[in-house]
Amino acid sequence: MEIGDLWTAVQWGLTRPGTRIPTFGKLAQDSQERRSMKKIAQEEAQVIRMAKRFDVGQELNDHIHTQHSEVWREHPVKLALIANNLRMPFPNMWFEFMSQDLTDTLVACLVEEKPIKGYPGLRDIAFHFYLGHLDDMTSTLCEHAVIFSQEGAPSQWLDDITDPADRARFGEIVSRVAYGITDFNYALETYRLEEIIDPYLDVLQRTQLMHKLMVGTYRLQAVEDWDHVAGHFRHLRFVMSLISVLNYPWIDKEVVTARPQQRSKTPRVTATDSYHRCKINLPKPNGVISRGNEPRTDSCGKRLHQVRGHWRVYRNDADEFVRRTWIKPHHRGDAKLGVVHKDYQLDFDPKH
């Protein structure tokens, strides 16, 4: 198995979980609950099938790990800044990379973005993890997923845990398991949940550990039981770091007047679909110059394609910063001309 193979292996397991996932349904109380679990697994396989795929090269993996992920481990407040500014280039994404912590192990992460009921404009971002072994085609569902709510959303677990000591203890579990920060300590004697100042504590409150019904569950009192899975879930910190690096700015002029475009009324073209693997070299700390306002040279328009979400930075004629805004992922082009499908290979290039 190599990078890219886990996408197929996980779908293979989820489409028939009862026979292909050894631990499937071990918590089911009856056959009805087991059928419900099977439906969840098959729906997840469908999301994976439709997600944008990102294969991460080893050099970029090393760079993100050493220059971002591990640095932020020592500075949880900086990690909180990354988490609070996290934006999704696509609603559903699939990342595959080699684990830095587990020997000969591939890691895949399905990232989903969903609206939060009752909170318009706010969204949950769910991270589902999978492991693959280099010497065979087997895949393993990690025992838990992680859900992170955007800034401004309510806590995922404070209402369910009322005792301050239990809150602090569960906060430590979240810190260990979700972000791999195992040396994070709470001062219980001064712990005042109503007067939280530390932004990292705020991030922890908006982070939920979601158990996979078909695989396992958690126990609040057994903090030590989480140590054996903390190595798996520090991958969340890596994926958040990777997305933040991928969201480099697209730089444009502040005032742009759209130029009328000429297009044939009856283009004599045959609709064709195509698939591309696009290579993106990272990091790009200075961003890239946007080409979105260049005059179109083709006469019949462009095929339908998806534009990934990105930060747009506007500058004036003196090249001075004016403002920054997030452009949501969207579709562009004419489906009558065909559809362009893309996946991505992320590589490291120190020249950028």
Task: Give pLDDT tens digits for 231-266.
Answer: 555 788 899 999 999 999 999 876 555 555 555 555
Same domain, 235 and 296: no
Same domain, 268 and 293: yes
- CA 213 and chain centroid, separation: 21
Q: How far apart are CA 216 and CA 244, in angstroms?
A: 30
Same domain, 170 and 135: yes
For the entire predicted model, the pTM comes to: 0.85
So what's the pLDDT on residue 344? 95
Of 218, 246, 274, the position where a domain reaches its end is: 246
Same domain, 76 and 131: yes
Same domain, 111 and 257: no
DSSP labels for 57-104?
PHHHHHHHIIIIIHHHHH-HHHHHHHHHT---SSSEEEEEEE-SSSTT
Q: How far apart are CA 207 and CA 229, in angstroms?
A: 17
Same domain, 163 and 218: yes
- Residues 98 and 61 sit within 8 Å (Cβ to Cβ): yes
Q: How far apart are CA 8 and CA 96, in angstroms?
A: 12
Same domain, 210 and 299: no
Of 190, 220, 246, the position where a domain reaches its end is: 246
Same domain, 140 and 270: no
Same domain, 195 and 305: no
So what's the pLDDT on residue 190? 43
So what's the pLDDT on residue 321? 87
Same domain, 171 and 114: yes
Considering the domain boundaries, does residue 330 fall inside one? yes
Within the chain, where are the H helices? 6-15, 17-20, 31-50, 58-64, 70-74, 76-84, 164-179, 199-205, 227-233, 235-246
pLDDT block averages, 10 residues each, the chain of length 352: 88 84 72 84 90 96 87 80 92 93 84 89 89 72 76 80 77 80 54 55 85 43 44 78 94 64 62 91 89 59 90 88 91 91 92 68
Domain count, the chain: 2
Domain residue limits at 298: 250-348
Of 228, 246, 264, the position where a domain reaches its end is: 246
